[in-house]
Amino acid sequence: MKLELTKKHRSYEGSTNYYSHSSESTGTKMNFSTFEPSAKIESAIIWLSGLTCNEDNFITKSGIQKLLSETNTMVICPDTSPRGLNLTGEHDSYDFGSGAGFYLNATTPEYKDHYKMYDYVSKEIVGILNNHFDINKISIMGHSMGGHGALVLALNEESKFTSVSAFSPIVNPTKCPWGQKAFNGYLINDEESFKYDATLLVKNNHKREDTILIDQGLSDDFLEKELLTDNFVQICKEKGQSVEVNYREGYDHSYFFISTFLESHVQHHLNFLNK
């Protein structure tokens, strides 16, 4: 696969880069950003962003480059959906279509040819890390819709990801409006949704050996209606899945919350990646 380096900014002892490439999964050009430390990279963390985001949000707002530079850790941030298309309804709302790929493989006629973000992340992004960057130890994390993506990918593809964490994840999308809208628009059969719901995956005996780390703000406007954190905690308890959920008093759904606790997530991943 040919990667085009579109922007390169020296930052700390490394560089923040932007790439573009043709994607087999989506049949479109796709963009991602990275932080690449200058020393030999041993491991990488995939960051999956939330609704309305693209490859730019995390890399400009997280403030994590310093720690990544100090620990020789790479981060890679894919866009959240294909771009440059004009499918029916694709650009009509913030929570469906462009900017809202939900990290699944669509099966509805309108979306099935392009909205393959599950394959894009699990095969192409992982393949780029393996082959282009020569990295085989990979963890995954994300925020909101991207937290959902991280959990679902890590529960389905346990061996591909060393550890998983999430900020404010949508843990039970079949039970919340965001998830229901997405699954109705992207998936033809209800059964397919089992593969893309972290709570249902644990219920159906998917299990990870590592502890799943979640941070959730208690002043998050989406907690009660969309995120449903407790549903996941409950099923993990029932099934013996190790999970650490930190409820954070006063913090909301923003990057200001993410930044505050991001170092602890990176350290969590490094504990597993450096084993």
If the CB atoms of residues 183 and 251 are measured against its own copies, the closer one turns out to be 251
Q: Shortest distance, CB of residue 62 to its own copies, whole angstroms?
A: 7
If the CB atoms of residues 130 and 260 are measured against its own copies, the closer one turns out to be 260
The strand pair at 164-167 and 29-37 is best described as unpaired
Instruction: Give 84: exposed, middle or buried? Use CB within 10 Å, 0-12, 13-18, 19+.
Output: exposed
Catalytic residue among 144, 163, 165, 193: 144
If the CB atoms of residues 61 and 83 are measured against its own copies, the closer one turns out to be 61
Residues 198, 204, 208, 213, CA torsion sign: positive
Active site (annotated) includes residue 159: no
Interior CA angle at 106 toward 105 and 112, to 5°?
A: 115
Q: Shortest distance, CB of residue 256 to its own copies, whole angstroms?
A: 4
Q: Which of 97, 137, 131, 136 shows the shortest CA–CA distance to 117?
A: 97
If the CB atoms of residues 36 and 90 are measured against its own copies, the closer one turns out to be 36
Active site (annotated) includes residue 144: yes
If the CB atoms of residues 61 and 181 are measured against its own copies, the closer one turns out to be 61
Helices (H), the chain: 57-61, 65-70, 117-119, 126-127, 145-156, 177-186, 198-203, 229-239, 255-273
Catalytic residue among 215, 220, 265, 269: 220
- The dihedral region occupied by 27, where left means phi > 0, alpha psi between -120 and 50, and beta the remainder, is left
Q: Shortest distance, CB of residue 9 to its own copies, whole angstroms?
A: 4
Residues in touch with its own copies (CB under 8 A): 9-12, 16, 60-66, 217, 219, 250-252, 254-257, 259-260
Gap between the Cα atoms of 33 and 71, Å rounded: 19
Q: Which amino acid is at 126?
A: V
Q: At a CB cut-off of 8 Å and minimum separation 6, what does 145 contact?
A: 48, 49, 50, 51, 80, 100, 102, 103, 170, 178
Gap between the Cα atoms of 145 and 103, Å rounded: 8
Q: Shortest distance, CB of residue 233 to its own copies, whole angstroms?
A: 22
Q: Shortest distance, CB of residue 144 to its own copies, whole angstroms?
A: 15
Catalytic residue among 253, 265, 268, 269: 253
Q: Give the catalytic positions in this structure.
A: 144, 220, 253
